[in-house]
């Protein structure tokens, strides 16, 4: 069964309580009504943005007088009188700290009559715009708004972002502004310009406290061997939780032109992609219509040959049962540059949620990953059964939903203890993750009875004793005859 790759339309923007916007105020006129401490802070912000600020305050605080004497950037002129309608002429923005709603209504009406956007401090009903918490790495500026619902939360988020963005980024942002005309003058194609700025961002992130120099610009302009045409990046999306994405994976998603993604990739992971990227579902579904691998390879190569930066997004890690070798080979045969961004494997993600070390000392000497089905959907006939039966190994079985009864039967015939602890994990690391545990002999029937949705991972080994200990002890205590009876009645083992 096969199906054609299908494009997934980017969802519409969710409702915004406020539209984030940044006013260009350098050299423009702003007015502030009021001489309070709150008014001082707003006048300082406007001056820092380069505005010439006229403050109207019959009784100004000492801090306002100090600001007028030494403003950050734009001049702050203090007028010790009340504002009038004439004061709104040629004004770009107006702010007031009002004593009551009547005063606020009058100020807002005067500003709007003059076509001036207005903010009345702490009175949102009279505001055309709001001030948010600010992270200042100018010309890199981050604004945070909670629409007045939780200003303290906004401040807390600002503190987190402050810690994440080195102050040195301000110098790199300044350099970007200075270098942009020179880069534009090179008349590079779109892909070439994007590649330059991607390298710029990587260099800034690697040396945020270094002042960029002409040598940096020259180094960035030297061709690095990266193609100016298309390319392919195989990216591991992890098992489902978007917070398990690597930083490199996020960068790849945010620079992609086209994303070819599997069924196992969660919608939350796709949210990290840039909105302009085309997103195409090319997933494979066990025992259901799926895109043929040859078709996926051909689509990936054709898009890259057309100059697109293609991200092939796969659940877990692309190098673990992800057919990465076939896709890499297709790219190499076509002369397409290809790279791999590893991801957190489903096994790693599941073990982390269970708080189980897959290589717990004394109990496990090694870990092995095996697939639960071959190309035809049946249990592979070349599994090393003796290795699977080794009590000192932790075995992770990928995609065994249909074949687990046969797998358990053959492993038991090779010496696997039917009481070996095991867990089946469905939709590992996601909010609706399901865990079914017990001795390996009973797991197939339990999994069939509960039939959880989503991809299944089965992990077998002594390291999971905490999850299956009570059932395992019950089977050991019941004796061999009872073991056979349970396994046959539950469909766990078939001899």
Strand segments (E) across 198-343: 231-236, 258-261, 278-281, 309-314, 337-341
Helix H or strand E segment including 459: strand 456-460
Residue 201, both tokens? 């961002």
Q: Which of 87, 97, 241, 262 is catalytic?
A: 262
CA-to-CA distance for 145 and 119, rounded, in angstroms?
14
CA-derived radius of gyration, the chain? 31
State how beta strands 93-96 and 76-79 pair.
Answer: unpaired
- Residues 6 or more apart whose CB falls under 8 angstroms from that of 304 comprise 229, 230, 231, 232, 310, 331, 334, 336
Q: Which of 284, 305, 402, 490 is catalytic?
A: 284
What is the number of helices (H) and of strands (E) in the chain?
Answer: 16, 18
**Does 262 qualify as catalytic in the annotation?**
yes
**Does 284 qualify as catalytic in the annotation?**
yes
Contact 20, 296 (CB under 8 A): no
Closest CA to 375 of 260, 292, 263: 292
Secondary structure (3-state) at 118? strand
Secondary structure (3-state) at 121? coil
Cross-sheet strand order for the sheet of 434-439:
366-371, 393-398, 456-460, 421-426, 434-439
Catalytic residues: 262, 284
């Amino acid at each position: 069964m096969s199906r054609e790759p299908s494009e997934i339309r980017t969802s519409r923007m969710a409702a915004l309580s406020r539209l984030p916007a940044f006013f260009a105020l350098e050299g423009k006129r702003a007015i502030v009504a009021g001489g309070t401490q709150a008014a001082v802070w707003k006048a300082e912000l406007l001056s820092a943005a380069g505005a010439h600020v006229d403050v109207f305050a019959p009784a100004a605080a000492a801090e306002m007088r100090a600001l007028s004497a030494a403003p950050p950037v734009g001049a702050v002129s203090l007028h010790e009188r009340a504002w009038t309608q004439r004061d709104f002429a040629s004004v770009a923005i107006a702010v007031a700290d009002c004593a009551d709603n009547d005063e606020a209504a009058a100020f807002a009406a005067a500003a709007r009559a003059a076509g001036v956007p207005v903010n009345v401090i702490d009175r949102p009903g009279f505001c055309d715009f709001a001030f948010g918490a600010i992270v200042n790495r100018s010309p890199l500026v981050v604004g945070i708004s909670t629409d007045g619902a939780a200003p303290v939360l906004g401040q807390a988020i600002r503190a987190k972002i402050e810690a994440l963005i080195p102050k040195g980024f301000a110098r790199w942002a300044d350099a970007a502004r200075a270098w942009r005309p020179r880069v534009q003058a090179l008349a590079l194609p779109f892909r070439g310009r994007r590649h330059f700025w991607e390298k710029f961002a990587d260099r800034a992130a690697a040396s945020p406290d270094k002042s960029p120099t002409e040598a940096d610009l020259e180094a960035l302009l030297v061709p690095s061997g990266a193609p100016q045409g298309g390319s392919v990046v195989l990216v591991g999306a992890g098992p489902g939780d978007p917070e398990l994405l690597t930083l490199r994976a996020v960068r790849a998603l945010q620079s992609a032109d086209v994303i070819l993604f599997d069924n196992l990739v969660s919608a939350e992971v796709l949210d990290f992609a840039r909105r302009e990227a085309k997103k195409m579902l090319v997933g494979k579904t066990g025992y259901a219509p799926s895109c043929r691998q040859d078709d996926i390879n051909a689509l990936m190569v054709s898009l890259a040959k057309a100059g697109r930066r293609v991200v092939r997004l796969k659940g877990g890690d692309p190098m673990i049962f992800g057919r990465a070798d076939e896709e890499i080979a297709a790219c190499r045969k076509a002369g397409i540059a290809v790279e791999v961004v590893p991801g957190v494997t489903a096994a790693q993600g599941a073990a982390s949620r269970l708080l189980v070390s897959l290589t717990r000392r004394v109990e496990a000497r090694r870990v092995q990953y095996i697939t639960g089905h071959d190309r035809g959907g049946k249990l592979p006939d070349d599994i090393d059964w003796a290795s699977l039966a080794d009590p000192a190994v932790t075995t992770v079985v990928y995609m065994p939903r249909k074949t687990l009864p046969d797998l358990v039967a053959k492993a038991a015939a090779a010496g696997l203890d039917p009481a070996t602890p095991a867990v089946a994990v469905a939709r590992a690391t996601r909010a609706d993750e399901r865990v079914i545990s017990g001795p390996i002999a009973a797991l197939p029937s339990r999994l069939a009875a509960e039939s959880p949705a989503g991809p299944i991972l089965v992990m077998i080994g002594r390291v999971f004793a905490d999850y299956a200990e009570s059932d395992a002890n019950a089977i050991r205590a019941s004796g061999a005859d009872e073991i056979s009876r349970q396994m046959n009645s539950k469909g766990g083992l078939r001899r």
